[in-house]
Every structure is written in structure tokens, then in C-alpha cells.
Amino acid sequence: MLLIACPYCGNRPETEFRCGGQAHIARPADPTALDDDAWSAHLFVRANPRGIHAERWCHAHGCGRWFNALRDTVSDRFLETYPVGAQPSRSIETEARA
């Protein structure tokens, strides 16, 4: 069970959290402007990297707030957590390493 540092509450066990998948996929401002390819990519294509992954977590059974995290998907080690809307302190290598 992971130990996750909620930016608002501190370290808590994973069972208090819900993982929301890849972070930094902004919903298009005007989805109707996207063709089917672009829309399906938005909906379904994921970096799924073997390495550093920027992902979303919600402290569902705690403060209820969403935040982002960088985690190494090989070691499951968290590098950092940070608020929604912010960028991590280090560059995400997802695309390069994916």
C-alpha cells in the first residue's frame, strides 16, 4: 500500500485516495472543434510510461481535494506531489521515456 503525501494533509495511506490517471490532460476548450482522431486521443490515448508519470490523485477519504503527483512507475516511488494547476518542479520525461 502506497504512502501518499497529500499536499493539504500530509502522508496518508493509499486507501484514503483515488487515482485519477494521467495528469495534465486539459479538457479542450471547444471539444466540437476536434475531429474524431483528436477527440479519441484526448479520451483514450495515455502516456502509460515506464518511468516518471505525472498523475492525478484525489484524497477522497480525507480532504476530498484533487492534486497531482510524479511517481516512478518502475519503483512506485513518489518524487513529489503538487496542487492542481501547478507544474511539477522537474520536467516530466514521460514522452521521452514512453
Partner 1 sequence: MRRFSLTSLLSESLTGHEGWGRQWRDPQPKASYDVVIVGGGGHGLATAYYLATVHGITNVAVLEKGWIGGGNTGRNTTIIRSNYLYDESAALYEHALKLWEGLSQELNYNVMFSQRGVLMLAHNLHDVQSFKRHVYANRLNGIDNEWLSKEACKAFCPPLEISGRLRYPVLGGALQRRAGTARHDAVAWGYARGADARGVDIIQNCEVTGIRRDASGAAVGVETSRGFIGAGRVGVVAAGHTTTVMAMAGVRMPLESYPLQALVSEPVKPVFPCVVMSNAVHAYISQSDKGELVIGAGTDQYTSYSQQGGLHITTHTLDAICELFPRFTRMRMLRSWGGIVDVTPDRSPIIGKTPVPNLFVNCGWGTGGFKATPGSGHVFAHTLATGDPHAVNAPFTLDRFRTGRLIDEAAAAAVAH
Partner 2 sequence: MAQQFRLSRGGRIDRSRPIAFAFNGRTVQGFQGDTVASALLANGIHLAGRSFKYHRPRGILSHGPDEPSALLSVDRGPGRIDPNNRASVVEAYEGLKTRSQNHWPSLAFDVGAVNDLLSPVFVAGFYYKTFMWPRTFWDRVYEPVIRAAAGLGKAPEEPDPDRYANRHAHCDVLVVGAGPAGLAAALAAAKTGKRVILADEGAEPGGSLLHDLTSEIDGRPAAEWLRATLAELDGRENVILLPRTTAFGYCNHNHVALTERVTDHLPTGASQAPRERLWQVRAGEVVLAGGSHERPLVFADNDRPGILLAESVRVFVNRYGVLPGRRIVFATSGASAYTAALDAKAAGAEVTLVDLRLEPDCGSGPARLRAAGIPVLTGHTVVGSKGRKRVTGLLVAPIGSDGRCGGRRLLPCDCVGMSGGWTPAVHLFSQSRGKLVYDAERDAFVPGSSAQAERSAGAAKGTYDLAACLNEGDAAGAEAAGSLERRAFTATSTPTGFQPVRIMPTDANPAKVRAFVDFQNDVTAKDIKLAVREGFQSIEHVKRYTTTGMATDQGKTSNMNALGIVAGQLDKTLPGVGTTTFRPPYTPVTFGTLVGPARHALFDPIRTTPIHDWAESHGALFENVALWRRAWYFPKPGEDLHAAVARECKAVREGVGIFDASTLGKIEIVGPDAAEFMNRVYINPWAKLEPGRCRYGLMLKEDGYILDDGVVARVSPECFHVTTTTGGAARVLAHMEDYLQTEWPDLQVFLTSTTEQWAVIALQGPKARAVIEPLVDGIDLSPEAFPHMAMRSGTICGVPTRLFRVSFTGELGFEINVPSDNALAVWETVMEAGRPYGITPYGTETMHVLRAEKGYIIVGQETDGTVTPDDVGLASMIAKAKKDFVGKRSLARPDVVAAGRKQLVGLVTDDPKLVLDEGAQVVADPDQPIPMRMLGHVTSSYWSANCNRSIALALVANGRELVGRTLHVTTPDGFAAARVAEPVFFDPKGERINA
Binding mask 20-59 for partner 1 (x = CB under 8 A): -x--------------xx--xx-xxxxxxxx--x-x----
Amino acid at residue number 92:
I
64 binds, among partner 2, partner 1, none (CB under 5 to 8 A by kind): partner 2
Beta-sheet strands, E only, within 1-77? 3-6, 10-13, 18-22, 52-58, 66-72
Q: Choose the binding region for partner 2 from 38-46, 47-55, 88-96 (rule: CB under 8 A).
A: 38-46
Q: Count of H helices and E strands in the chain?
A: 2, 6
Q: Element (H or E) spanning 37, and its range?
A: helix 36-44
Does 20 bind partner 2 (CB under 8 A)? Our answer is yes
Q: Choose the binding region for partner 2 from 46-54, 71-79, 88-96 (rule: CB under 8 A).
A: 71-79
Q: Which of 19, 22, 62, 66 binds partner 2 (CB under 8 A)?
A: 66
Q: Element (H or E) spanning 82, and its range?
A: strand 78-83
